[in-house]
Every structure is written in structure tokens, then in C-alpha cells.
Amino acid sequence: MASKVLIVDDDPGIRMLLSKFLQREGYEAIAAQNGLEGVELAKKHQPDLIIMDVVMPQMDGLTAARLIKFYKPLSEVPILFLTAKDAEKEIELAQEVRAEVYITKPFDIRQVIQVVRETLTGGKTGS
């Protein structure tokens, strides 16, 4: 069974790009357009990994990540923050909500896929 990856980003182009590349790598991609929808879809689909933007309408990624991590069935799901923000304060906040990785935009899609693969396999190479 394919690992499920939830993509939470308000940019439809980024959601489509990530979904396309993740599906090409054999993952099941689920997409949400804001943090509120991301929390709902996370609870519904129980993803194996979440890729989340920080700055979004309705609910930012840090708040959504806190809600996801406090929900017991999802507390151990790794979160990869993908955002244009690279301020030290944002990185500290991401670490507080136990984000596994913090990648700034613009990003290299191959790097993101590699991080997803490594995170889902516990650091082992290959799928």
C-alpha cells in the first residue's frame, strides 16, 4: 500500500507540482488549500507524512501543525514545512511543533522528494 502524503499549501501550482511528483514516485497525494482544511483532511485520511506551508489564509501552518500534533492518532506523523519564510523565529516555531524538516521556497522538487523518501523510510535510501 502506498504511503499517503498530505500537501497543505494555498498555492494551487505548488499543490499540483508536489502531487504530480509524489504520485510519480508511487505515493498517494492528498491536497488541502489551507491549514483548516489540512487539519480536517489529516484526521480523515491519516497521512504518513504532511508537507505544509506556513503562511496561509484561514489557518496558518504552525497552528494547523499544533492541532495535528495534539490529536493523538496523528501525534507521530512527520511534518515537513515548505515555506517562503526563512526567518529564525519561524524555524524556532516550526521546531516547537516538532516539524521534522523546514525547506524554504523556491525549492528543488528533487530535494523535496528525497526528503519525503528519507523521512518515510526512516533515513534508509530506496523505497
The residue type of 109 is I
The residue type of 32 is A
Tell me, what's the pLDDT at 20?
97
pLDDT per residue over 12-57, tens digit each? 999 999 999 999 999 999 999 999 999 999 999 999 999 999 889 9
pLDDT per residue over 52-100, tens digit each? 998 899 999 989 999 999 999 999 999 998 877 656 666 666 666 666 6
In whole angstroms, give the CA distance from residue 91 to residue 86. Answer: 7
Q: Provide the pairing of β-strand 101-104 with 4-8.
A: unpaired
Q: What angle do CA 47, 26, 43 make, to 5 degrees?
A: 10
The CATH code of the domain at 4-120 is 3.40.50.2300
With a threshold of 0.85, does the pTM exceed it? yes
Domains of the chain, residue spans: 4-120
Q: 10 is written with which cell numbers?
A: 494555498
